[in-house]
């Protein structure tokens, strides 16, 4: 097998003021800049290789010499797909990395297209996130959604799936599972309802229907709320029913990613 | 109702080199120092109040003037239980806080006693953690364990429950649920087995028994593994059976806290 990366020579970047490096950093740091440009920054040997294999468009890739030696197969997959490749210094790698132990592979990628709401599958099983703020929770939900074979994830406000921490927590699932990001979740839920789907709001309210007693059926959208304030009133108002995971003890709620895992398990098992 | 904190005068600390402040910071930062001293550092209005109400021994409490005004009820609960109280400056609060938006209430507390292995309830339902490293995962597991009414959590190596991030993620559950920390999880599992309990290792290995087909019974210990490497061979070797959460797609495993949530749900529902 040929690991081209090891034997190839790339133009070397060592300055933080290089325009491509500045673009990478800006994409790491700013959700609004990601939205404007439709690009995102990705870091890590395995996940950059996953992106290449999954067919994500890679504009620019950066490698340290050490990474080319240490991760030849991952680097090779990226090199084959990237429009441009650069070598970066070890020092620069440390500066642009979002992690403590950077692996030395970075990409600037094009965001995937939202799936169109017209393509919401009326027999599908979806989870919807109403203003989830924590990127690690968001990433964990995407990872679990893929593992449990959900049809897709509807992201209504809050953290975006291209946040570096969310990307890391999702372990590549964000690059594969169908995602529809919307600024108007209530209207999307009304649309799903009109298609004959059941829309369900999850709540810590113990008077809601227990998740075990939820009707088992195809065509369902289950909403998870914000970490602090739960599901917004606007979203509750348009949902067909409310469900809850019963709790004991003095814990008043579950971590959003843990609650989502239990709900998705019950929806798909 | 009397909010004593607002009207009380506490000795004021403004220097980072104050011995009590140094102790707080050392406890925040060092797991080995926490182990040696049997103390831990706690931060946050609600959680410090929870600690006081739950009966955690509070050696020292620190408050900013703003916190005494803003959280009078929480502060009051802490003041009633703390051996010593100090006022700290806003600047010092920012320096010792582990969070971005500190609330200005901090405590040095005495760790709870491990429950004795002799008190492992043979009809109980326990989750055991084999070298879990991520404090947010550990905290989320404790929170879910309390919410689902587990009998207790066995912590075998890895992150300690008094890590500041773990305490925060547990939302107070670490101060209430029974915890047994052990450096020898295999021997504890053998002990549980001899008591007639079923010991179960969870694994992403799809050839293991599906969690849905796990025998429903009292007296069970279910082990969750390390985030990267799963359950150690030593622990697998002593477990009575292996179970798995079936997965689809290209996701190869679940986030440890999400997997733990599904397992605890199945164990207790």
Measured in residues, chain A has a length of: 269
Rounded to two decimals, what is the model's pTM? Answer: 0.91
Q: Is the pLDDT of residue B251 over 80?
A: no
Q: Are B223 and B128 in contact (CB under 8 A)?
A: yes
Residue whose tokens read 């065509």: A219
Q: Are A211 and A266 in contact (CB under 8 A)?
A: yes
A217 pLDDT band, cuts 50/70/90, is confident
**Six-digit token pair at A162?**
């291209």
> Could B258 and A257 be called an inter-chain contact, meaning their C-beta atoms sit closer than 8 Å?
yes
Residue of B nearest to A53 (CA): B250
Residue of B nearest to A262 (CA): B262
> Could B148 and A269 be called an inter-chain contact, meaning their C-beta atoms sit closer than 8 Å?
no
Q: Which residues of A touch B248 (CB under 8 A)?
A: 146-149
Q: Are B169 and B135 in contact (CB under 8 A)?
A: yes
- Nearest-Å Rg of the Cα atoms of chain B is 20
Distance from CA of A227 to the nearest CA of B (A): 12
Domains by residue range for chain B, with CATH: 4-110 (3.30.1330.30), 117-268 (3.40.1280.10)
- Nearest-Å Rg of the Cα atoms of chain A is 20
Q: Which residues of A touch B171 (CB under 8 A)?
A: 251-252
Q: Is B101 on the interface with A (CB under 8 A)?
A: no
Q: What is the pLDDT of residue B231?
A: 95
Q: Which residues of A touch B258 (CB under 8 A)?
A: 140, 143-144, 257-258, 260-261
Rounded Cα gap, residues B21 and A49, in angstroms: 46
Return the number of other C-beta atoms located less than 10 Å from residue B80's C-beta.
13
Distance from CA of B77 to the nearest CA of A (A): 17
Strands A179-182 and A58-63: unpaired
Of A140, A149, A250, the CB nearest to B258: A140
Average pLDDT value over all residues in chain B: 93
Q: What is the pLDDT of residue B1?
A: 41
> What is the arithmetic mean of pLDDT over A200-225?
92
Burial class for A163, CB neighbours closer than 10 Å (0-12, 13-18, 19+): buried
Mutate to test the interface with A, among B44, B170, B251 (most CBs of A within 10 A): B251
> Could A262 and B261 be called an inter-chain contact, meaning their C-beta atoms sit closer than 8 Å?
yes
Rounded Cα gap, residues B83 and B61, in angstroms: 8
ipTM confidence score: 0.90
Rounded Cα gap, residues A16 and A249, in angstroms: 52
Q: Are B223 and B157 in contact (CB under 8 A)?
A: no
Rounded Cα gap, residues A243 and A215, in angstroms: 10
């Amino acid at each position: 097998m040929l690991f081209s990366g090891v034997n190839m020579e790339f133009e070397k970047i060592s300055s933080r003021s290089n325009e491509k490096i500045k673009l990478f950093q800006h994409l790491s740091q700013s959700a609004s800049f990601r939205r404007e440009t439709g690009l995102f920054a990705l870091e890590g040997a395995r996940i950059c290789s996953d992106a290449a294999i999954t067919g994500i468009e890679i504009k620019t890739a950066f490698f340290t010499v050490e990474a080319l030696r240490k991760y030849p197969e991952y680097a090779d997959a990226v090199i084959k797909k990237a429009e441009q490749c650069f070598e970066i210094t070890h020092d620069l790698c440390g500066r642009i990395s979002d992690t403590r132990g950077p692996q030395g592979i970075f990409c600037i990628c094009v965001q995937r297209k939202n799936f169109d709401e017209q393509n919401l599958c009326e027999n599908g099983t979806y989870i919807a996130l109403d203003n989830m703020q924590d990127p690690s929770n968001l990433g964990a939900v995407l990872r679990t959604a893929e593992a449990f074979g959900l049809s897709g994830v509807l992201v209504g406000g809050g953290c975006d799936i291209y946040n570096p921490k969310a990307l890391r927590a999702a372990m590549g699932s964000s690059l594969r599972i169908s995602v529809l990001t919307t600024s108007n979740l209530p209207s999307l839920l009304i649309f799903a309802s009109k298609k004959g789907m059941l829309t369900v709001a999850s709540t810590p309210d113990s008077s809601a229907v227990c998740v075990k007693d939820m009707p088992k059926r195809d065509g369902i959208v289950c909403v998870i709320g914000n970490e602090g304030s739960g599901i917004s009133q606007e979203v509750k108002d348009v949902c067909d029913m409310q469900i809850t995971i019963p709790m004991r003890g003095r814990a008043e709620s579950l971590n959003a990613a843990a609650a989502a895992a239990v709900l998705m398990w019950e929806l798909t098992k």
